[in-house]
Structure 1
Amino acid sequence: MTRRFTRREAMFTAAGAGLGALGAFGQTRAGNPPYPSWKTGFRQLAPNVYAYTQAGGPGVPSSAISNGACILGPDHWMAIDAFAAPPHTKAFLAAAKTLAGSRTCDRLINTHHHADHTTGNCFFLPAEIVGHEYCRKAVISNGISNLAGRPESWKVGMAELKLAPPTTTFDDRSRITYWYGNTEVRLMYNGSPAHTWGDALIYLPQYKILWAGDVAFFYVAPAAQSGHISKWIESIDRINKMDVDVIVPGHGPIGSKKELAETREYLTILKAEAKRRYDMKMSPGKAAAEIEDKLGKYSTWADPAAVRTVNSVVRLYAEFNDSLTSETDMAAVAAASQEYLEIRGGAVQLR
């Protein structure tokens, strides 16, 4: 069955759900290099410090498949991010228990408000939940995720979900330091909007490790539906000045500044190509359709790239005409998505 792209489906796209037909445009193209695969599970980065990734790679659906952490102290442990669906969160907590033993989780940090990082917050209660003040506001405003457009397997346990926003917040000027045993954990804002208006960085200075949240996407197309792409690039530049060897992205495998440079290049290409077409007074949907052929190796990145290109161009056009806000312009995304599909194929194949 085929039908036209609806505004409701555009809203799912803007939220990062992805659409089957758009996926066909984001698959690996001849001549572009492959990217790696990675597995679900914990990897030890330092004494008592563990990064958690969920599986991804070529041919593996990556939309809303996010990463996390377990940092152990003598009596308690800290988590970073809560995942998109109850089964994801419960799998993380079960794996963390094998590391933590009898220690309880006393603190959860949300890197930002998107549902793929906060839906599972309630499963960490009564732990303290910490995030940027904008993160708390947006989690409350968005409400409990209904997992619309997601696989049915993700919805097991949905009846257990309840709204659990951050209970401790920080602002653009503040930084919080926690100690888990001898491990220093710094929670900070990186100076400007980037992926959202409330991105948190978690930095372990003694080990030169950074959890960058969705400021970093490695081998997964960056999602900009709530972002400020120019300032996102500046945020990456500030990270590059930090004393960091290991970077855990919000999506993708554990990496370093090398992979972060590719995130930056992707965003830089998008911005330059969008500005060229904005100056030509080209519509966002047509611009996105053309830019999809200008991404080079990044067109093979997971999630798929085409879904993200439409959202990114809409955001960039708003940035260029000084109308950008922290909120997603659903009507603009719907219109651009419809035009994109008419140019690239004309219909959405429903799964």
Structure 2
Amino acid sequence: MRRERLTHDIYVFTSDRYAQVTAGLVLTNEGAVIIGTLVYPQETRAIKQFVEERLKSRVAYVVNTHYHADHTTGTCFFEGAQVIAHELCYDLLNTCGRDSLEQARNSSPEMADVQLVLPNVLFSEQFTLKLGERTLRFWSTPGHTSDSIVCLVEEEQILFAADTLMPLPYFVDGDYDALVASLEGLKRQPFEAIVQGYGEVILRGEVEDKIQSDLDYLYNLRKHVGKALNTANPQDTLNKIDVEMCGKNRILMTGMAPQLHRQNVKWLAAKHTQPELPER
């Protein structure tokens, strides 16, 4: 696991074991906030150890940015912490999350100690947490999933975007139109940096280009899928829609990009209609 210090009291942890998924840490004089957890217990326990032994603090809050296991599995290792999430996350974890965890336990002995922890600080649209000298503002950004949220550390203008911003946009468990709207809502904001759910941190000078690149991918994807559905052999044409045709590199996310892109194509094709998009 790689640790990166963004400011004096803000850190990002990047997994070496699963697709460069990230977790965040905001330290305050009243405790730490963990934003997302990593998949494997060994890595999440290392974050806890860093907080307690190196920073001489405790984890007061854990943020479930959405219900997917790669961002929530480690919640149980922060005993006594309050858990913040969108209200939809509670139900999704309590249903899909339980099933996913049971499968993980059965397939990997390493996951045997993982317990499902449901969030207990819930919100619908917006929520503000004041902890010590820090103000963390949360808001709903549906698209990747219906319960997706982002977290802004207001004093430093650092946005933890979770999977609303990924190296490759992915909406198969969410909604295309909602993701477009959420990305549009992040444009022209004074962010100093954005921490994606996977991969590298986006710095201030790159933020607008990154968001536009994701929107361009989605627009290109919609265009190519729409054209394919109007050909004589739609399935053959759909199969030829490569991730690079839509403007993204196939090596992103340690090579997972083509697989995720293929699922995006299938999702859009299954809708059989082209979504209405906001004017550019």
Alpha carbons of structure 1 residues 147 and 269: separation in structure 2 relative to 1, 3 Å = farther
Alignment coverage as a number of residue pairs: 267
State the match for 2:3 in structure 1: 42
Shift in Å, 1:178: 1.4
Question: How far, CA to CA, are the matches of 2:49 and 2:237 in structure 1?
Answer: 45
Q: 1:71 aligns with which of 22, 26, 30?
A: 26
Are positions 1:310 and 2:257 aligned together? Answer: no
- Give the TM-score of the pair, scaled to structure 2: 0.84
Q: 1:263 aligns with which of 214, 222, 226?
A: 214
Question: How far, CA to CA, are the matches of 2:232 and 2:43 in structure 1?
Answer: 43
Shift in Å, 1:226: 0.5
State the match for 2:36 in structure 1: 81
Alpha carbons of structure 1 residues 286 and 71: separation in structure 2 relative to 1, 3 Å = same
What root-mean-square deviation, in Å, do the aligned CA atoms of Structure 1 and Structure 2 show?
2.7
Structure 2 unmatched runs, 5+: 276-280
Are positions 1:210 and 2:159 aligned together? Answer: yes
State the match for 1:183 in structure 2: 134
Are positions 1:113 and 2:67 aligned together? Answer: yes
Between stretches 160-169 and 295-304, larger displacement belongs to: 295-304
Shift in Å, 1:288: 4.2
Q: 2:118 aligns with which of 136, 142, 165?
A: 165
Give yes or no for contact 2:4–2:11 (8 Å, CA) kept in 1. Answer: yes
Q: Deviations over 1:262-318 (max 9, x none)?
A: 3223222222211221233755x5444211162455223234222112210222134
Are positions 1:249 and 2:201 aligned together? Answer: no
1:280-291 equivalences in 2 (<5 Å): 280=231, 283=234, 286-291=236-241
Q: 1:128 aligns with which of 74, 77, 82?
A: 82
Structure 1 unmatched runs, 5+: 1-39, 56-60, 324-351
Q: Which has the higher contact order (CA 8 A, sep 6+)?
A: 1
Alpha carbons of structure 1 residues 100 and 318: separation in structure 2 relative to 1, 3 Å = farther
Q: 1:224 aligns with which of 171, 190, 199?
A: 171
Output the amino acid matched with 1:49.
I
Alpha carbons of structure 1 residues 170 and 137: separation in structure 2 relative to 1, 3 Å = same
Question: How far, CA to CA, are the matches of 1:236 and 1:123 in structure 2?
Answer: 32
Output the amino acid matched with 2:4.
R
Alpha carbons of structure 1 residues 290 and 73: separation in structure 2 relative to 1, 3 Å = same
Alpha carbons of structure 1 residues 147 and 45: separation in structure 2 relative to 1, 3 Å = farther
Shift in Å, 1:322: 9.0
% identical equivalent positions:
22
